[in-house]
Amino acid sequence: MSHIESVEQLDNVGEVVRYYATTKPDHLAMVFDDRKTTYAELHTHSSRVANGLRAEAIGESGRIAYLGKNTDRYYELFFGTAKSGVVMVAVNWRLAYPEVEYILNDANVQILFVESEFECIAQTVLNNCEHLKKIVFIDGDDERGYISWRERHIDQDIQQNIGRDSICLQMYTSGTTGNPKGVLLPHRCFFSQRKAERTAGSWAQWDEGDVNLVAMPTFHIGGTGWGFVAFYHGATNVIHSVPDADKIAGDIAAYKITKMFVVPAVLQQIVAVAQSKGMDLTSMKYVIYGASPIPESLLIDAIALFECSFCQQYGMTEATGAVSYLPPEDHDVKGNARMKSCGKAFPGIEFKICDEQGNSLPQGETGEIYIQSPAIMSGYWNLDTATNDALQEGWYKSGDAGYLDKDGYLYMQDRVKDMIVSGGENIYPAEIESVLYKHPAVKDVAVIGVPDQKWGEAVKAIVITDRPLDMDDIIQYARQYIAGYKVPRSVDFVDEIPRNASGKILKNVLREKFWKGYERRVN
């Protein structure tokens, strides 16, 4: 039986590290700056974490959280929580402190592991979080630091019966009505997703010597999930704290990285750096990209640089990552119709297009994209109504609008739910509107997404005030309460915001003048 066939039989994410610690203990599992960790060491460290959580009386299904940039130690926590049955909560470090506080309270987090850079936020929220009893600094070198905490606990392997349906990871997505929602991802999702991907084509195969780059943030499934793909295959992860193009290009050359997942905006920066320095990045076998289609000019430059194949993926947190893929053979430097699509469903995943009543629509007609997959979330944490709205008769309602062609390729045209995607981040206007409504001079507000050459879409606020304000007044007010990437990049002051007879803002009317001339209402 091969390694992958053996791993497919496992039930718990933590067992993956245990398996490779037994079968290839000296193989490099992680590289982070000057730290290198073998699979045997990762198993030992994550076992110490698991025992430490037991010693802290964090019971099965209890929650810990990590607030910080990417680090190898995040994965020690991830696998340690999986072994002990504790749920990992990944918190976006770009959030403002009221948003962090909400998440920690909503998830009932008991221990917060935090990067020292964000100590101010951690200390600010500490007294306002009912269940939070300890803060551990992931990069600290004193008794409050992670290494000191980890090494106080035994490295005995925990053999605990944690089933595939037990929750492993809780990730937060922006909420359609203001507050973020906790997406519950059980162990089964990570195994089901990998099995679906593995049978998709040669591009999805992993070899013994593959080296993977994790540069996308681990508070997204595109970071945590992509890193797990490499661990699942017993490969090496080179982990970067943030997606810095200079460092990425340098490490591709230094570590002979063979696979990476990036968004096109980051890929463009990598290409520019490598071209300017004349770097050899031809170790790369496959570049996986997502969040938006790739411009033809960028594809031409990237293929010339990497001399490798490209695959686009479309997915979401609720599906534990990708649900469709545009394979390398559909990428053409001359352009083709399929390059405007999200590709086709992975094996074992199905799409259907439905009208507002949930009725299936015929080929070529645009409606809401419904997804059926074994890797769909269990639901939203403590939100039964939202869960029931999203999960219907075995299908997940994506909130995206699109159509299927005769070959099963999916084309996204718009969004059913009111959402903006900027630089790969999902942003819900309702959350921003609820903040701006609290400004004492704001009488009415609407937030929309407008085309942006760099980020795909940018946040625009359309505001009615009862006294003169300028754009900076609105932006600085918003910055106090929400993450920087959600803050409006532009503000229009108007006398009237169009509404229908029931008082609902006509967002399509507001968006039309900004999207005129675009083929789709997403960028």
Query: Is the pLDDT reported for residue 502 higher than 60?
Result: no
User: Which residues, other chains included, contact 364 with Cβ-Cβ below 8 Å and sequence gap of 6+?
Assistant: 403, 404, 405, 406
For residue 265, the one-letter residue type is A
Query: Is the pLDDT reported for residue 420 higher than 90?
Result: no
At 88 the pLDDT is 98
Query: Is the pLDDT reported for residue 384 higher than 90?
Result: yes
From CA 507, how far away is CA 263, in angstroms rounded? 27
| Phi, psi (degrees; rounded to nearest 5) at 492 | -110, 130
At 74 the pLDDT is 98
Query: Is the pLDDT reported for residue 504 higher than 80?
Result: no
Residues comprising the chain, all counted: 523
Output DSSP code: residue 127.
T
Closest CA relative to residue 345, chosen from 193, 224, 233, 227: 193
| Phi, psi (degrees; rounded to nearest 5) at 180 | -70, 155
Helix, coil or strand: residue 486? helix
At 520 the pLDDT is 66
| Residue 424 confidence class, pLDDT cut points 50, 70, 90 | confident
At 310 the pLDDT is 93
Query: Is the pLDDT reported for residue 411 higher than 60?
Result: yes
Query: Is the pLDDT reported for residue 146 higher than 80?
Result: yes
At 148 the pLDDT is 97
Helix, coil or strand: residue 122? helix
Distance from chain centroid for Cα 345:
19
| Residue 160 confidence class, pLDDT cut points 50, 70, 90 | confident
Read off the tokens for 225.
Answer: 């999930």
User: Which residues, other chains included, contact 314 with Cβ-Cβ below 8 Å and sequence gap of 6+?
Assistant: 290, 322, 323, 324, 325, 342, 343, 410, 412
At 195 the pLDDT is 74
Highest mean pLDDT: which range of 265-269, 426-430, 514-518 = 265-269
From CA 248, how far away is CA 245, in angstroms rounded? 5
Read off the tokens for 481.
Answer: 């309460």
Query: Is the pLDDT reported for residue 292 higher than 80?
Result: no
Q: What is the pLDDT of residues 300-339, one digit of tens each?
A: 899 999 999 999 999 999 999 999 999 999 998 887 888 8
At 73 the pLDDT is 98
Cα-Cα-Cα-Cα dihedral of 304, 305, 311, 314, to 10°?
Answer: -120
Name the average pLDDT for the chain: 91
- Percent of the chain past pLDDT 90, that is, above it, reads 68
**CA within 13 Å, CB half, 391:** 19
**pTM (2 decimals)?**
0.86
Q: Which domains does the chain have, with CATH numbers?
A: 3-188 (3.40.50.12780), 422-515 (3.30.300.30)
At 503 the pLDDT is 65
For residue 88, the one-letter residue type is M
| Residue 393 confidence class, pLDDT cut points 50, 70, 90 | very high
Query: Is the pLDDT reported for residue 522 higher than 80?
Result: no
Query: Is the pLDDT reported for residue 177 higher than 70?
Result: no
At 523 the pLDDT is 65
Per-residue pLDDT, averaged over 214-220, amounts to: 96
At 253 the pLDDT is 96
Ranking 43-47, 154-158, 195-199 by mean pLDDT, the lowest is 195-199
Query: Is the pLDDT reported for residue 175 higher than 80?
Result: no
Q: What is the pLDDT of residues 227-260, one digit of tens each?
A: 999 999 999 999 999 999 999 999 999 999 999 9
Q: What is the pLDDT of residues 65-78, one digit of tens each?
A: 999 999 999 999 99
What is the number of other CB atoms lying within 10 angstroms of the CB of residue 164? Answer: 16
Query: Is the pLDDT reported for residue 413 higher than 90?
Result: no
Per-residue pLDDT, averaged over 171-187, amounts to: 85
Query: Is the pLDDT reported for residue 202 higher than 90?
Result: no
pLDDT higher at 9 or 370: 370
Closest CA relative to residue 219, chosen from 189, 174, 264: 174
Angle, CA 138 vertex, CA 142 and CA 140 arms, to 5°: 20
From CA 331, how far away is CA 303, in angstroms rounded? 10
| Residue 521 confidence class, pLDDT cut points 50, 70, 90 | low
| Residue 423 confidence class, pLDDT cut points 50, 70, 90 | confident
Query: Is the pLDDT reported for residue 167 higher than 60?
Result: yes
Query: Is the pLDDT reported for residue 176 higher than 70?
Result: no
Output DSSP code: residue 354.
E
